[in-house]
Amino acid sequence: MARGLRLTVAEALKRGIVTPTQATAITRDLKQHALKARQYSGERDPHEILYQRLKAVYCDRVEKEKKDLVPGRRFRADVFFEDARLILEVDGFQFHRSRAAFIEDRKRANLFEIQGYRILRYTAGRIFKDMDGVLAEVAAALAAPATAHCVAGAGGSTEEAHTPRSAR
């Protein structure tokens, strides 16, 4: 699949890239996505609501849309606490419109983890309905020490924890 190629649905139809049925479905999906995007504009944007509440409590400790956390990747974290190496992500079905988008988001989260960041994920619904619970979890995560992602095995050896059971 070519990246960076941008055509209107009408142009894709004219060039025979999509069928009329596909063009109708694409147009419908685009309209639904635009409607959902408008629902989250301004005061209904869960990212902004979460950021503003956290900013009121934690002042300059919190950043939004932080970039360059994974070298060589153009990822951004929705909300970020540098001192705690804590990332907050706002997830929703409207942003994972396909299986491929969902899979890519999991890869992105894994790369954040590999870089040593902790991630808390929240749905828009949870932000709208349970902000107190969200804030309590964030406070607990900030109070917990940021530790290396290393789990000791039964004998206390970290080496054993990274050895597959079949090889032990």
Asked if 21 and 49 sit in the same domain, the reply is no
Cα–Cα distance measured from residue 133 to residue 127, given in angstroms and rounded to the nearest whole number: 9
> Does residue 156 fall inside a structural domain?
no
Tell me which of 155 and 59 has the higher pLDDT. Answer: 59
- Which residue has tokens 């540098």? 82
Backbone angle region of 72, left / alpha / beta, with phi > 0 → left and psi within -120 to 50 → alpha: left
Expressed as residue numbers, the domain containing 25 is: 9-39
Q: Contact, 15 vs 7, CB < 8 A?
A: yes
Q: Using one digit for the tens of pLDDT, what is the confidence trace for 114-163?
A: 989 999 999 989 999 999 999 999 999 999 876 655 444 444 444 444 43
Asked if 110 and 31 sit in the same domain, the reply is no
Element (H, E) at 48: helix 46-58
Asked if 84 and 24 sit in the same domain, the reply is no
What the block records as the tokens of 134 is 């969200």
What global pTM score does this model have? 0.61
Asked if 100 and 17 sit in the same domain, the reply is no
Asked if 61 and 137 sit in the same domain, the reply is yes
When pLDDT is averaged across residues 31-51 and rounded to a whole number, the result is 68
Where residue 4 falls among pLDDT bands split at 50, 70, 90?
A: low
Asked if 119 and 54 sit in the same domain, the reply is yes
Tell me which of 152 and 6 has the higher pLDDT. Answer: 6
Q: Using one digit for the tens of pLDDT, what is the confidence trace for 77-93?
A: 889 999 999 999 988 66
Q: Using one digit for the tens of pLDDT, what is the confidence trace for 14-37?
A: 888 889 888 788 877 776 665 555
Asked if 51 and 122 sit in the same domain, the reply is yes
Q: What is the DSSP string of 57-115?
A: HHGGGEEEEEE-SSTT---EEEEEETTTTEEEEEE-TTT--SHHHHHHHHHHHHHHHHT
Residue 117: per-residue pLDDT: 92
Q: Is 167 helix (H, G, I), strand (E, B) or coil?
A: helix
Asked if 86 and 56 sit in the same domain, the reply is yes
Residue 47: per-residue pLDDT: 87
